[in-house]
Structures are given as structure tokens and as C-alpha cells.
Structure 1
Amino acid sequence: MPNNAVLYSFRRCPYAMRARLAITYSQQAVELREVVLKNKPQTLIDASAKATVPVLVLSDAIIDESIDIMAWALHRRDEDNWQRREDTAKQAEIQQLISDNDIIFKHWLDRYKYADRYPEHDPLYYRQQAEQTLSGLETRLEQHRYLIDDDISWADMAIMPFIRQFAHNDKRWFLQSPYPQLIRWLEQLMTQPPFIDIMQKYPPWQTGDSITLFGQG
């Protein structure tokens, strides 16, 4: 394993999903430690003050932001050019889309999914606010197959887990929503590698367990 890398993850967390997607795609072998969020292992808490997944523990560094873990993996191997190297305009597009997702869309997604925690408005209001992001993505996907162009990019894989979470909050509504290209895009990404590969179930890790390798080619 490179740098004896250890990844703390949780299967259903969209931040952890995007980290696992990049690690799997780039074929970076890590030791996977599946976490139960209600009973976090002390080693995770000791590694990162945030104590939230994903956390990548290396021999010389600790990376506890999902986008930084993606960058770590893609820096090591990016055969399909998810990063759009040598194209600064597309790189800027990717970064802006991810930033908008993480700051704006995630804000409304949380309120839509957990509306009972935010009684200031009803779920319909929160969904409508989130739809501003969906509409923008739909427009992009009307122009090309993926968010940046006709090939998968870092933006697609960083954003897809959050759109998936939104869609699963009310699948029936989503599948009838006025976003046919977004529906197609999500279905396509969810039914092929590397997404299928990362959604394998693992038992929760405990101290003393044997090593579970993840992401190796």
C-alpha cells in the first residue's frame, strides 16, 4: 500500500463515496476501515479532530477533506484525465461546479432531507431551492453527455453522490421531474464502475481486525 494508507469511510456518506470513487478509479490500494458513525473508533478520533469520514491516514500526512483525498488519488493516477490537465478553463469549471455543490446545493439538500430539523419552511420549499442547482446541471447535460464535456470528469464523480442522495429522498418525484438528462446521467453513473465497485458492503472495522484492501488494481 502506498504510504501504508488507511481510509476511514462510511458506505452511504456522499463525501466518503466521492473519495472511494477516486481511489478506486486511480487504483490506489488502501486499508479500508468501515465506520459506524454512532460508534466511531478511537483511532479515527485520534487521527482527525473533525472525526468525520472520510479520513485518509498516510505515514506522513492526514487528509480529512473528501476533495483533497480525490486530489491525492488523481495526482497519482488519472488515465482518463478526470482533471482535464492542460485545459485551465475546464479545470476552473470543475472547481466551480464542485464548490457550488458543496456550498449551495448541500445546504438545501440537508434541509430537504431532514426538513423536520428545519421547521422554518416545508420540504417543498427546500426542494425548490435545491432545484436551482438541478436546473443548471440539466442545462449542461443538454449540451454534452457529462457535466464538463462528453467524457467523465472529476466534477461528475464529486457531485454524483449528492444528486443520488437528493434523488433517493423521493425517488418517485425525481423520476417524474423535468430533468430527463440529469436522470439519465445519474442512472448511467450508478450502474457502471467505479460506482458499482465502491458500494460493496463491508462489516464495521474494529481494532484487531484483519486488513481489508480497497482500491487496488
Structure 2
Amino acid sequence: MNKPILYSLQHCPYAMRARMGLLMAKQQVMLRAITMKNKPEEMLKISPKGTVPVLVLTDETLSNTVVIDESLDIMVWALQQNDPEDLLHKDNPEDLLEMLELVKRNDKEFKPQLEIYKKSKRFRTGTEVEERQKCEVFIAELEQRLSRRNLEEKCFVGNKQGLIDYALIPFVRQFSRVNKAWFKQAPYPLLREWIQQQMQTRLYAKAMEKYPLWLDEYEECLFGDD
């Protein structure tokens, strides 16, 4: 079977999410690294919105192509193929629904506010504290979820790690880096410890490996464990 093609951008949080999902599912893909300033025509033809990640699935005959261009959908697809860590919590469907809803809130509510917070810090608009506090509504909830008792391991939904714990890593990482000095003493010790641990894992290191730009040499790179 032809390996899927993944169009990806190294530091895009959505692309990071997709790469971590593929790694956890041990799904190998041919990675095409891009920049947003020079998007491949091949990618734009199959996904006109022009954002990453984009996963392209093609059968052996090359006659049937499926395009998945949402990061969460890529994670779910990968884990449906192989889920050795049971990140979809197959015996607890209510957990999966809760995880998907939390990802939706992250993407639709927290991420847009995070962008406003980042801009307020970068451009010194004088509204950094106000914009950060709006982000903290979601951040405080994550801290509370980690503080629940009787957990087998620190996680956001259920009593063990799941899809949500990997789906949120890139976004909590971004939040923690806007004002590092503030975050180091912020009232979120569990979340701070959690993101520090996640960023020190082999998974994170592999997900963040840098690849040559595909348009430079038109050379695809094998990504993922088998």
C-alpha cells in the first residue's frame, strides 16, 4: 500500500498535533515540509484552504484519493488504524465524546484568544494581562482536571491518558512561552509540570524534528515509527 503523504509545517501547533497522533499510532507517512510563504501547488489543488496539516491517502491503483485536512481528524484516523495505548478509550465512549468536545473548545475558543494574547505581548499594547486572563479560564480548567484524585496517571479526561492529552500539548506549549517568567510562577503547578514533562519525551523530540523543505529538492522524508 502506498504510504500516505503529510504536508506539514514544523512549528504549526495543528501540524504538531497531527504528527504526534501519527507517532502514537505508529503510522508511517511521507512527510513534505512546507512554508506558508511558498505553498506547493500540489497541496493547494487537493486542499484549497491552504493550511496544514494535510494528509493524502491513495490506494494501490492511484484511482482513489482521500484528503484529511483537519488535525483532529488526522489523529482520529491514525488511532483508528492502530491504537496501542488505547488513546481513544474504546471501552468508554463517553470519554471520547468528552475529549472531542474539549479539543473543540481549545480550537474554537482558547486558540483564538491565545493569538490575541500573543499579539498583546509582542506589540506591547498594554492589554497583556487582560488578554492573558481570558486565556486562563481554559488553563484553570486544565489545572483542575489534572488535580483530580485517584488518577492512574495525570490526564485531562477519564483516568488515563488519551487523545486529548496529546492534542493539547502544542497549545499549552504556546501559552507557556508567551511570558515565560510569568508562567514559571503562575498558579498552575500541575499544568506547568505536565507540559515540562511532555516536552522532554522522545515522542515530542521526534514530532519536532526538522525536515528539509519539500519544494527545495522534491524529496519526501519518511516520518513515523512502524
Bucket of the pairwise TM-score, normalised by the shorter protein: over 0.9
Matched with 2:95 is: 90
Task: Report which stretch shifted further, 196-205 or 146-155.
Answer: 146-155
- Specify the SS of the correspondent of 2:32: strand
Amino acid at match of 1:159: L
Structure 2 CA distance for aligned equivalents of residues 125 and 114 of structure 1:
12
Matched with 1:159 is: 168
Matched, 1:51 2:50: yes
Where do 5+ consecutive residues of structure 2 fail to align?
59-64
Q: Is the 8 A contact 2:9 2:34 kept in 1?
A: yes
1:1-217 equivalence runs, <5 A:
2-59=1-58, 60-115=65-120, 122-143=127-148, 144=151, 145-206=154-215, 208-217=217-226
Q: Percent identity?
A: 38
Structure 2 CA distance for aligned equivalents of residues 188 and 150 of structure 1:
18
Amino acid at match of 2:30: E
Report the count of equivalent residues. 216
Where do 5+ consecutive residues of structure 1 fail to align?
none
Q: Is the 8 A contact 1:30 1:216 kept in 2?
A: no
TM-score of the superposed pair, with normalisation by structure 1:
0.93
Offset, 1:208: 4.8
- Specify the SS of the correspondent of 2:6: strand
Task: Report which stretch shifted further, 38-47 or 201-210.
Answer: 201-210
- Specify the SS of the correspondent of 1:39: coil
TM-score of the superposed pair, with normalisation by structure 2:
0.89
Structure 1 CA distance for aligned equivalents of residues 69 and 137 of structure 2:
29
Amino acid at match of 1:210: E
Structure 1 CA distance for aligned equivalents of residues 186 and 161 of structure 2:
23
Offset, 1:150: 4.5
Amino acid at match of 2:44: I
Task: Report which stretch shifted further, 159-168 or 200-209.
Answer: 200-209
Matched with 2:62 is: none
Structure 2 CA distance for aligned equivalents of residues 121 and 93 of structure 1:
36
Amino acid at match of 2:134: Q
CA distance 1:66–1:121, shift in 2 (3 Å): farther
What value does the CA root-mean-square deviation take over the aligned residues? 1.9
- Specify the SS of the correspondent of 1:22: helix
Deviations 1:4-29 (A, max 9, x none): 31100011011000100011111111
